[in-house]
Amino acid sequence: MQALEGKMADLDDLRHDWTLEEIDDLFRLPFNDLLFQAQTIHRQQFDPNKVQISTLLSIKTGACPEDCAYCPQSVRYDTGLQKEQLLAVTEVVNAAKAAKAQGASRFCMGAAWRSPKDRDLDTVEAMIQAVRDLGLETCVTLGMLSEPQVHRLKEAGLDYYNHNLDTSPEYYGEIITTRTYQDRLDTLSHVRQAGINVCCGGIVGMGEGRADRVSLLAELANMEKHPESVPINLLVQVEGTPLHGTHKLDNFEFIRTIAVARMLMPGSYVRLSAGREQMSEEMQALCYFAGANSIFYGEKLLTTSNPEANADRALFNKLGISALGGDLADQASEAPLLTAER
């Protein structure tokens, strides 16, 4: 383990050749040893008492043609979700102003598209430019993108593009059939080649085994360049979706996943995304100790709930944690927020 730690200490010498066996060995470490190693590596690259805050806004909700088994936005499932058209730029600007006032340093916008039409990007580009003018980092998740579309977003000033792998290549077919794993990798390649930061992670607790969590993290850690942000979502089960009723993931297994992600990708922001509302304060505290240093802040992630803003602020106070770039405000935005699971 000391040899592994030495290899990961220098960001100029990051590994991109992790084997499944090595990652599985990390998962199997005694819990205290695993958290100690992860926290040691975390402290080499980050302030352990700072957490990056992002806010998500759904700019177009529902009626997605994909069949992602976890997603209430799919037109294939009856979840009672009301579809909404693309928001006006002024609505987005107002939500971004509120997010900044509450301590967010990054504003994320998501649309329930399989892939956007070129005409839709005109409005999205205006949103990106307006949010950047407020001094916030910008992130969008719009589905699959062509290379020309990525360059349009780059020219608009986009900082981050979110496109999750969701799960392992081996388990992927159990979750999604309307988009291939390679489709996701192709979009990520376009984003990376255009010089946009990559936000890419996955969802755990979808009925996958540990081998799938190992394989997912291997896919992320063995990218030519690690994603700048790695969201780790805990499945939020929504009635009407195929995954409703799935056996819940053990809490310690989730924390282990956070810790291993930190060890494999030392310089990335590891984000607690969907599912935080299900977590106790103690579980979230262990996740921060394991190396999580980013959250989505706000009381709703589209159709799923998120910890109340005051609860987040109270927990940060208990732990001596502060928001990167500022303090959390007392109240969260009333703007509708996007699920981090897309």
| pLDDT on residue 312 | 82
The pLDDT of residue 161 is 95
pTM: 0.87
> What is the pLDDT at residue 114?
81
Q: How high is the pLDDT of residue 323?
A: 84
- How high is the pLDDT of residue 221? 97
130 contacts 93 by C-beta, under 8 angstroms:
yes
Residue 335 DSSP symbol: S
- pLDDT value of residue 299: 53
Q: Write the pLDDT tens digit of every residue in 205-249.
A: 999 999 999 999 999 999 999 999 999 999 998 888 888 889 999
**Would you name the residues annotated as active-site residues?**
64, 68, 71, 108, 139, 199, 271
For residue 46, what pLDDT is reported?
95
Contacts (Cβ under 8 Å, ≥6 apart) of 76: 65, 67
Cα separation values, 89 from 25, 59, 75, 151, 164, Å: 48, 9, 25, 21, 25
Q: Specify the long-range contacts of residues 31-37, CB closer than 8 Å, at least 24 apart.
A: 31/252, 31/255, 31/256, 33/1, 34/256, 34/259, 34/260, 34/290, 35/255, 35/259, 35/286, 35/289, 35/290, 37/1, 37/5, 37/259, 37/263
Which stretches of the chain score pLDDT less than 70?
1-12, 62, 75-76, 78-82, 298-309, 326-342
pLDDT of the residue at 339: 42
User: What local confidence, expressed as pLDDT, does residue 326 receive?
Assistant: 63
In this prediction, residue 4 carries a pLDDT of 45
